[in-house]
Amino acid sequence: MTLLRTEVLPTVPAVPRKLATAATGFDRVFVIGARGIGATVLAITGGIGFFLAVQAVPTLQRYGWDFFTETQWQPEADVLGIASVLLGTVTVALVAMTVAFPLALATALYISEYAPLRLRGTFVSMVDLMAAVPSIIYGIWGFFLLQPHASAIARWLHAYLGFLPFFKVDTDPHAAVWEQTRYTASAFVAGLAVAMMVMPMASAVMREVFSQAPMGEREAALALGSTRWGVIRAVVLPFGKGGVIGGTMLGLGRALGETIAVLLIISPSFDLKLRPLEIGTNTVSALIAGRFGEATDAQLSALLTAGLVLFLATLVVNTLAAMVVARSRSGAGTDI
């Protein structure tokens, strides 16, 4: 009988294998390229801010904080300030967002929830093409086509809501021959034109977020007897609230910086008033575009200081909007 010898092998400790996480080949090229492009964008943005800050130093040394509280812009009298144009910028943006927000929300909900599938792509393309129209076209459209009808709406608002300071106009709306020119070239008309420009951007962001609402929750709501509107109210809107906020803020950033359309419509004035229905207003971007060609060195520094204020405002608004949109796309912070 032959006995088998059994050899006991030495125990080798189990060592986890190290995984290679470094990108190689084309992945490494992509990572380096993406980082380079991102760094370039940040460098350009920082360079613009630094240039504007340097150019603003002479103005701030000459006028100090009075530059931000003075309402008049009279270079011949050495009186320069941007208080009135800052108020005009905010007024035009508020009018634009008041009109654009419900339109963008309704458009996004219709395309994502109600539109037939065979037409959904066409509607998406039509809304996106609105964002590609040059701003000067919107300005011409607002001046020649929109303004006559908008002045009639402004007169109606003044006639029935004129007891509110926001809708007050220094004229009699019930006169036999009412002064139509008092309601033209106003922040209200410019805001309507800007609203058509920012609506596609806000609608695109909202629509994208709405389309990512979880299908399981949609089906669960339908199984419990919800209508289509019930699903939208209980699932889509709570999930997409970050997209709604982010899209609105992105539109606000665009409305604050719009130039050509506003410049073509408004009648420039430097009155510190919150009357969007009344003729005369001004914005920071329109002021820069209108005075840039004839500005002296001192005036140019003042215009660039106004541009620095607008740059910082739009940068803050767009950064906050990007953060909200990124958070909504990741699904974080949603209560369903």
pLDDT category of residue 20 using cuts at 50, 70 and 90: low
Q: 69-98 b/e with 16+ CB inside 10 Å = b?
A: ebbebeeeeeebbbbbbbbbbbbbbbbbbe
pTM for this predicted structure: 0.85
Pick from 68, 127, 271, 77: nearest CA to 186: 271
Give domain status of residue 221, yes or no.
Answer: yes
The DSSP bridge partners found for residue 268 are: 281
Could you read off the pLDDT of 179-193 as tens digits, one per residue?
Answer: 888 999 999 999 999
Could you read off the pLDDT of 117-129 as tens digits, one per residue?
Answer: 899 989 999 998 9
The domain tally of the chain equals: 1
pLDDT at 30: 87
The percent of residues above 90 in pLDDT, for the chain, comes to 49
Domain that holds residue 232: 85-330
Pick from 45, 52, 75, 49: nearest CA to 63: 75
Give domain status of residue 119, yes or no.
Answer: yes
User: Token digits for 274?
Assistant: 């919150």
- The secondary structure element, H or E, covering residue 117 is helix 117-132
Could you read off the pLDDT of 268-290 as tens digits, one per residue?
Answer: 998 888 899 999 999 999 999 99
Give domain status of residue 307, yes or no.
Answer: yes
Between 176 and 331, name the one with better pLDDT: 176
Give domain status of residue 299, yes or no.
Answer: yes
pLDDT category of residue 12 using cuts at 50, 70 and 90: low
pLDDT above 70: residue 259: yes
Can you give the CATH number for the domain in which 262 is found? 1.10.3720.10
pLDDT at 178: 85
Q: Which of 12-16, 63-67, 108-112 has the lowest mean pLDDT?
A: 12-16
pLDDT at 264: 93
